[in-house]
Structure formats: structure tokens, C-alpha cells
Amino acid sequence: MAYLDHAATTPMRAEAVAAMTAELNRLGNPSSLHAAGRAARRVVEEAREAVAEAVGARPGDVVFTSGGTEADNLAVKGLYWSRRAAEPARRRVLVGAAEHHAVLDAAHWLAEHEGAVVEELPVDRLGRTSPEVLAAAIERAPGEVAVVSVMWANNEIGTVQPVHELAAVARRHGVPFHTDAVQAVGRLPVDFAASGAAALSLTAHKLGGPVGIGALLLDRGIDPVPVLHGGGQERDVRSGTLPTALLAGFAAAVRLAVAERAEQARRLRALSAALLDGVRAAVPDAELNGDPEPGDAHRLPGNVHLSFPGCEGDALLMLLDAQGIACSTGSACSAGVTQASHVLLAMGADPDTARGSLRFSLGHGSTEAEVAELAAAIGPAVARARRAAAART
């Protein structure tokens, strides 16, 4: 199989598998006071230190979660509740219009159940939210904004947001700024302290670690109301028994991903350029979505998001899958009904373009042979998908 869906999940690194497997054979709850518990606690704290060091944070900033979705929910809901408790007028939640659904749906849940007023910040044609847009939104009623959330890099189109500038705007107005950095950590230089963000989400399985473990970084003085209640683990912010084996895998993966980041970024940008050239040679009217410029301030390395006029993305995905090529559609499927990508719609794309898009994402195991496989398969697949779409109209 040519696996071109690393943005969805990437294979575990051998070092992470080894670290995790070693802990699976050991006994001990890290909250227990006996020797086995203390040994497990040591693994937890070493993992906390590894994550903190990798992303420019203090160990005390790291709150472990089950992954990016939980971290996003804890940040958006928890910070909203904490700000409302201190200042009841703070009901506004500002989120980027192109955010991951873990942020968007959490915000809209607050609107439906907790009296929040959710405002989606518009993006430009590249999918980017400008500091000026955020400043204008806050300044309409600065005393009413509870939290701002804008992702570090978009999971669909790869566009990198001006996080430092956005965080500075929020900080200037005394509003906590959260960023979903699930796609960014290990692919871009991420420094939590330097970013100015109050909270940051990341997850292990995008880095070559195991599924089921992630983290929310919280700056000093940022204390969200818990979503989960129980034993009071993770400084009373996220209760639950800590999974030492998953944490060992997380630590190994994040160390490797950050250590190899610059070298991998160069390699993935070259592979992405070859992929784009190959697809355009076969399908000249394929349109690249997101920021076309390479570089850390513009686009995620390894992300190539394309629209294919006259195609249904789902049909094209299945045609490629039948040839052993795995990628991702730019649309979401709910209850069997295909929906246009909210990211592309927010950028101003028409619904047909938004439905006819695919994301090809490369990672640490990607090869030139996989790119060549796609280049050979894409032309006939697009032609067949277009015939099928035309027959339905």
C-alpha cells in the first residue's frame, strides 16, 4: 500500500513501540505510594519532562489527556467555564472558521448548553486568520470574550497560522489564547513559552507514538474547569489513572520527531513538490489549496491538498484505494451524507470544489516510490471519476 494519509495517523516509530512494550510488562499505578507505584510515577514524570522539553514548556505546564480531542475540549470548555465563573459577562467564544471539529463542536456545544456566544473568525483564501481580524472581533466587546482558539496549522490544507501574532492580540486584551497544535508539533518549530499562547494541544499518534495519549499545555495561572472529575490527577485538571505504557511511547516519539524535525521537513517538502508535479502532469487542472509557499511560516511539510474539478472526492478516494493508495477526502461524511469541507467553504470555495478535493499527507515513512505510484494512478482515476460524475448529472 502507498500510505499517503499521515495527517490522519502516522505509523508508530520502532523506538516508541519498544518503550511502550517494556512498560506493558510492568505493574504499578502511578498514584500508588508503594514501590511499584513509585516506579510507574517515575515513567510518568520522565514523559512529562520529555514532552515539555520538546515543545518549549515547563514540566508543570503539561497535563496529560487521552489525545487531541480531549485536550481541545478541556481547553475550550474549561477556559470558558473558568472565565464565566470569575466574570459572568464573558460569554463570547472566538474560534477560527477553519478549525478542527474538536474545537468547533466544543464551542458550539457551549452555545447550545452553556449560554456561550460563538463567533467564527473568517479566514482568507489561503485559510489564514489575520491578527487584524481577531483584534477587530475582540474590540467589539473586549470585556465579553472568554477564550480564543485558533489552530497552529490546518489539518486539511496545511496552512500555518500566525500564532505568535494572534496570541499577542489576545494577551493584550487579557483573553486566554488556545491553539490546537496537533498537526504542528514535530513538523514545525513549536515553542510554547515563546508563542505567547495560554494553552496548547498535542497528541502522540501524529508523531509516531501510540493512539490514546496526548497533552494540554497550560501556562501558569491558567486553570480550566475540569471536564472529568475523579481522583484529582494532573493537578486536578484531568482526573484518571495515567497510562504509563502509552506515556513511555509518547515520550520516545516526541523526542525523535523533534530531534529529526528539520531534516524530515526538508525531505518531505521535496517529496511534496514531486507529488504535486506528478499529479499536475497527469491532471493539469488540479488546484492546490492552502498557502502555496513552502516554509515553516506558510505550509506544513508533507501536506498536498488538491481539488479536482468535475470529481466527487469520495469516489476518487475509493478509486485510488482500490489501487492500494490511501489518502483522505477533503469532505466529512455524516450519517451517510457527503458534506462539503467546512475548511474550503470558509476559504470561499464553491460546494462542488469543496466536495471534489483530496488530501495527500506524507510522513516519516513516505518514499519516492509511493509518490510515483500516485502519479501513475491519478490520471486514470480522475478520468473515471469525472465520467461517473457526469453520468449522474
pLDDT 10s digits, 192-244:
999 999 999 999 999 999 999 999 999 999 999 999 999 999 999 999 999 99
Is residue 390 within 8 Å of 310, Cβ to Cβ?
yes
pLDDT given at position 334: 43
**Which three three-digit cell numbers place residue 174?**
487579557
pLDDT given at position 331: 52
Alpha-carbon gap, residue 170 to 162, rounded angstroms: 13
Backbone phi and psi for residue 22, each to the nearest 5 degrees, phi listed first: -60, -40
**Which three three-digit cell numbers place residue 304?**
498536498
Is residue 23 within 8 Å of 248, Cβ to Cβ?
yes
Least confident of 119-128, 130-139, 324-333: 324-333
Nearest to 205 by CA among 41, 58, 65: 65
Kindly write down the DSSP assignment for every residue of 48-95, as one continuous string: HHHHHHHTT--GGGEEEESSHHHHHHHHHHHHHHHHHHH-TT--EEEE
Q: How far is CA 333 from CA 36, 329, 342, 343, in A?
A: 46, 10, 12, 14
Q: What is the pLDDT of residues 323-373, one digit of tens each?
A: 999 999 865 444 345 678 999 999 999 999 999 999 999 999 999 999 999
Alpha-carbon gap, residue 125 to 159, rounded angstroms: 11
pLDDT given at position 369: 98
Least confident of 228-237, 270-279, 298-307: 228-237
Start-end of CATH 3.40.640.10 domains in the chain: 14-258
Strand partners, 288: 306
Which DSSP state fits 142?
A: G
Nearest to 47 by CA among 254, 348, 229: 254
Least confident of 34-48, 54-68, 116-130, 329-343: 329-343
Q: Out of 101, 333, 348, 365, which one is annotated catalytic?
A: 333
Q: Is 333 a catalytic residue?
A: yes
What is the pLDDT averaged over residues 315-325? Answer: 97
Nearest to 206 by CA among 180, 179, 178, 184: 184
Nearest to 63 by CA among 223, 229, 186: 223
Alpha-carbon gap, residue 315 to 279, rounded angstroms: 17
Start-end of CATH 3.90.1150.10 domains in the chain: 261-392
Backbone phi and psi for residue 193, each to the nearest 5 degrees, phi listed first: -65, -45
14-258 sits in which CATH class? alpha beta
User: Does position 130 have pLDDT exceeding 80, yes or no?
Assistant: yes
**Which three three-digit cell numbers place residue 116?**
456561550
What is the pLDDT averaged over residues 267-287? Answer: 98
What is the pLDDT averaged over residues 15-37? Answer: 96
User: What's the order of all strands across the beta sheet hosting 328-329?
Assistant: 287-288, 303-307, 357-361, 328-329
Say what percent of the chain tops pLDDT 90. Answer: 95
Alpha-carbon gap, residue 218 to 110, rounded angstroms: 21
pLDDT given at position 340: 87
> Could you tell me the fold of the domain covering 261-392?
Aspartate Aminotransferase, domain 1 (3.90.1150)
User: Does position 153 have pLDDT exceeding 90, yes or no?
Assistant: yes
Alpha-carbon gap, residue 345 to 355, rounded angstroms: 10
**Which three three-digit cell numbers place residue 1?**
500500500
Q: Which stretches within the chain are classed as H helix? A: 14-24, 35-54, 68-86, 101-113, 131-139, 163-172, 192-195, 244-259, 261-282, 313-321, 342-346, 351-355, 368-392
Alpha-carbon gap, residue 250 to 266, rounded angstroms: 24
Question: Cell 507529488, residue?
Answer: 275
pLDDT given at position 333: 46
Q: What angle do CA 44, 48, 50 make, to 5 degrees?
A: 115
In this structure, the chain runs to a length of 393
Kindly write down the DSSP assignment for every residue of 182-240, as one continuous string: TTTBTTB---HHHHT-SEEEEESTTTTS-TT-EEEEE-TT--PPPSS-SS-TTTTTS-S
Alpha-carbon gap, residue 202 to 185, rounded angstroms: 7
